[in-house]
A and B are shown apart, each in its own frame.
Chain A
Amino acid sequence: DAGVTQSPTHLIKTRGQQVTLRCSPKSGHDTVSWYQQALGQGPQFIFQYYEEEERQRGNFPDRFSGHQFPNYSSELNVNALLLGDSALYLCASSSWTGEVTGELFFGEGSRLTVL
């Protein structure tokens, strides 16, 4: 049983460029959440997708957008990259319980460096 997989593992971009990160959830999971983790800090919630719709969003600008596909996989897009967007981007999958999201399982992350 594959866990949560993310791609790419590392990437380098320059300011102003756009980036797309991808995530495949753990088998049986229908909810995908994205987090940004700066060095030495805890992960910060970006948004959560369920049934191909953004269910909840954290305090991130509209430059951050996402998508969920019918097979539950998800993409995170960041436009007009800033130096401060350099971070580890983590994807977490879970099962929606009908009231709240269940236990989170994380991928290994995508390390984005913006020069």
Chain B
Amino acid sequence: KQEVTQIPAALSVPEGENLVLNCSFTDSAIYNLQWFRQDPGKGLTSLLLIQSSQREQTSGRLNASLDKSSGRSTLYIAASQPGDSATYLCAALFNNDMRFGAGTRLTVKP
């Protein structure tokens, strides 16, 4: 069964700290992996998309890596800010079936 797991479920850090969010998936035969941000009661905002042939993608203070062999992806956020507070979800595309993790709820304290 193709599953996506995110750890931790919640994370609270002081402003300015660098942090890593983890995503694991059970099947290495993924086509791509996408990281999203979701604010309370809102839709999902795409942050980064990593194709299966890529190892990492960067956008501003965000860096996402992909290791298919170990079934893991990480989202690195540098110099965190209170505005980064949100739920971060990863989603893996398996043969047109995109599976989401339950998300990591991040709180950045001023």
Any A CB within 8 A of the CB of B85: no
B102, A55: Cβ atoms closer than 8 Å = no
Residues of B within 8 A of A56 (CB): 96-97
Within 8 A of A (CB), among B79-110: 89, 91, 93, 95-103
Any B CB within 8 A of the CB of A86: no
B98, A45: Cβ atoms closer than 8 Å = yes
Residues of A within 8 A of B100 (CB): 35, 42-44
CB distance from A13 to the nearest CB of B (A): 19
CA distance A17 to B98 in the complex (A): 29
Which listed residue, A104, A108, A111, touches B98 by the CB 8 Å rule? Answer: A104
Q: Which chain B residue shows the least CB distance to A88?
A: B41
A43, B31: Cβ atoms closer than 8 Å = no
CA distance A11 to B24 in the complex (A): 35
Residues of A within 8 A of B89 (CB): 42-43
CA distance A104 to B45 in the complex (A): 9
Tell me whether A100 and B96 are in contact in the complex, defined as CB-CB below 8 angstroms, given that A41-B102, A42-B89, A106-B36 are known contacts. yes
Any A CB within 8 A of the CB of B28: no
Residues of A within 8 A of B21 (CB): none
Within 8 A of A (CB), among B35-78: 36, 41-46, 49
Any B CB within 8 A of the CB of A48: yes
B102, A90: Cβ atoms closer than 8 Å = no
A101, B96: Cβ atoms closer than 8 Å = yes
Any A CB within 8 A of the CB of B34: yes
CA distance A96 to B46 in the complex (A): 17
CA distance A6 to B36 in the complex (A): 18
CA distance A54 to B89 in the complex (A): 26
9 closest A-B pairs by CB: A42-B100, A106-B44, A108-B43, A106-B43, A103-B49, A42-B102, A100-B31, A109-B43, A43-B100
Of the A-B pairs whose beta carbons lie under 8 Å apart in the complex, a sample of 11, sorted by A's number, is A6-B43, A33-B98, A42-B91, A45-B97, A90-B43, A100-B93, A100-B96, A101-B96, A103-B32, A105-B46, A108-B43
Known: A33-B98, A107-B43, A109-B42. 19 other contacts (CB 8 A): A6-B43, A35-B100, A40-B102, A42-B100, A42-B102, A43-B100, A58-B97, A100-B32, A100-B93, A101-B96, A103-B32, A103-B34, A103-B46, A103-B49, A104-B46, A104-B98, A106-B45, A106-B46, A111-B41
